[in-house]
């Protein structure tokens, strides 16, 4: 049975989608951008601050659904510029010190709200 996941500790969806959907022990987290859930605005700073906020948002959704970062099996990272890859990777790695999930990273032409990074995540129990 499909379950919609929502938490006020992560930004509200900015379109016709859910923060996450859980089905059959798998959690699908929509691409998270670096919005501060308290203000609804992009966090100030560069890629390090933005990647940190994205990971905090993912963590809040994981927690709301009863998952942990250890349950993440796949991430897709979208970057506005591959020159930001190294800094994003350092932040990302701090959340996965062992048994890292599978991952893809792409540079895209543009991201919503002009942000530098967006990450979608799949977790399994």
When pLDDT is cut at 50, 70 and 90, the band that residue 63 belongs to is: very high
When pLDDT is cut at 50, 70 and 90, the band that residue 91 belongs to is: very high
Residue 58 in this model has a pLDDT that exceeds 90: yes
- The whole-number pLDDT of residue 14 equals 79
- The whole-number pLDDT of residue 13 equals 87
Select the more confidently predicted residue: 2 or 15: 2
Counted residue by residue, the chain has a size of: 125
Give residue 68's domain range. Answer: 3-124
When pLDDT is cut at 50, 70 and 90, the band that residue 97 belongs to is: very high
| DSSP structural state of residue 34 | -
Distance CA 117, CA 119 (A): 7
The reported pTM is 0.97
Q: Are 60 and 9 in contact (CB under 8 A)?
A: yes
Q: Is the dihedral of CA 95, 88, 63, 124 positive or negative?
A: negative
Q: Measuring CA to CA, which residue among 92, 84, 72 is closest to residue 108?
A: 84
Domain count, the chain: 1
CATH number of the domain within which 8 lies: 3.30.1330.40
Give the chain's mean pLDDT: 97
Average pLDDT over residues 38-66: 97
Angle at 83 between CA 80 and CA 88, to 5 degrees: 75
């Amino acid at each position: 049975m499909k379950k919609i996941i929502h938490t006020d500790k992560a930004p509200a969806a900015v379109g016709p989608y859910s923060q996450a959907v859980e089905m059959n022990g798998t959690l699908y987290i929509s691409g998270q951008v670096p919005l501060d859930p308290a203000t609804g605005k992009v966090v100030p700073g560069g890629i390090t601050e933005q990647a940190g906020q994205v990971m905090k948002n993912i963590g809040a959704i994981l927690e709301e659904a009863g998952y942990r970062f250890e349950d993440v099996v796949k991430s897709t990272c979208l970057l506005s510029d591959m020159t930001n890859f190294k800094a994003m990777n350092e932040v990302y790695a701090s959340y996965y010190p062992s048994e890292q999930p599978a991952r893809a990273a792409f540079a895209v032409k543009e991201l919503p709200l002009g942000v530098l990074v967006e990450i979608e995540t799949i977790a399994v129990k």
